[in-house]
Amino acid sequence: MKKSHLSLIIIFSLLCTFSSQAQRNRFKDLIGKSFPLDSIRSHDPVIIKQDSVYYVFSTGFGISVLSSNDMVNWTIEAPVFNQPPQWATETIPEYKGHTWAPDISYFNGQYYLYYSVSAFGKNTSCIGVATNKTLHPYDPDFEWVDHGKVIQSFPGKTNWNAIDGNLIVDEQGTPWLAFGSFWGGLQLIQLSDDGLTTAKSSDNTHTIASRRTSKDDRRENSIEAPFIYKKGDYYYLFASIDFCCRGLNSTYKIIIGRAKTVDGPYLDKDGKRLDQGGGTLLLQGDDRWAGVGHNGVAFIDGKDIIVYHGYDRNENGRSKLLIDELSWKDGWPELKNH
């Protein structure tokens, strides 16, 4: 490698490090401050309620956390991690603490937070997990315990990307992890009973959704962010298609399919399999939002609440937190207020 090329790489790396530190420092000044929903910036949110408090976790340095008593005004809490987990920086050297796509669930008597560490644009990725007895920062039992890596993907070895994890527990109480972004599509794998590793009896992932219609279809597989939600007799698979993270040029959309069993096959309204290019459109951009996607769903206060992010045309494509309620028609979800 030429010295000039090496120098550029070192300079770029240092700039990224300084930029990350500057963002962390600016964020510290916001902890404890409250903001109205329409001003909250967010990427890849999930929501849960403990007692009378709503919590939103989303992509950010150390994982961003918001709390609210009314889902209208939100307080910025300290991030989950003050420093990047050591295992993650050793496993993914490009990872500097900006942690993607958390997933929050109450399971086995405690809260499970799955999160993604990755090198952007590569499937050099891992999904990790941390647990906590409570989500209330003021509780004496509040402590995030990191359990490290759950699953890892490798360039040239795994035709899937280990990001965007989502825990789903089936009717038998067995935990599964849905995950994936681009490459071979969305995957599902069985977890160990404690949810901390993959099950020893399950070495292989199972494809549950793809934009490709066959093995010969070589187009870019623009699908990610699986979220499986059990409602009535069906498991519903939400997924985001097309492209995020491009501001005003984002084309993100949310599609949906359903299955009688957690491992599928998931079918759309027309009976087309999601692992063969199917998917019923649930939500897309409009005059206000350039693109919308990467959702989470939770049953809260007797309602099915969906959170997601959208790129605001009124603010030059900034990514904002959006919260809606789902209603159901003929066994399929739709946004109640759209």
Provide the token pair at 276: 């063969």
Rg, the chain, Cα only = 19
195 membership: H or E segment, kind and range: none
Cα distances from 82 to residues 118, 198, 216, in angstroms, run 18, 27, 45
Compute the distance between CA of residue 206 and CA of residue 254 in angstroms, rounded to an integer: 21
Q: Give strand pairing partners of 35.
A: 74
First-to-last CA distance in the chain? 55
One DSSP character per residue, 132-160 reads: ES-S-TTSTT---EEEEEEEEE-TTT-SS
- Catalytic residues, by residue number, are 44, 224
The sheet carrying 280-284 orders its strands as 223-231, 234-241, 253-259, 280-284
Question: Given CA atoms 216, 217, 221, 223 in this order, what sign does their dihedral have?
Answer: negative
Cα distances from 83 to residues 74, 79, 86, 144, 270, in angstroms, run 24, 9, 8, 12, 47
Question: Given CA atoms 57, 28, 70, 245 in this order, what sign does their dihedral have?
Answer: negative
Compute the distance between CA of residue 124 and CA of residue 49 in angstroms, rounded to an integer: 33
Question: Given CA atoms 38, 296, 243, 94 in this order, what sign does their dihedral have?
Answer: positive
Burial of residue 245 (number of CB atoms within 10 Å: 0-12, 13-18, 19+): middle
**Quick count: other Cβ atoms within 10 Å of Cβ 2?**
7
Q: Are strands 34-36 and 53-58 parallel, antiparallel or unpaired?
A: unpaired
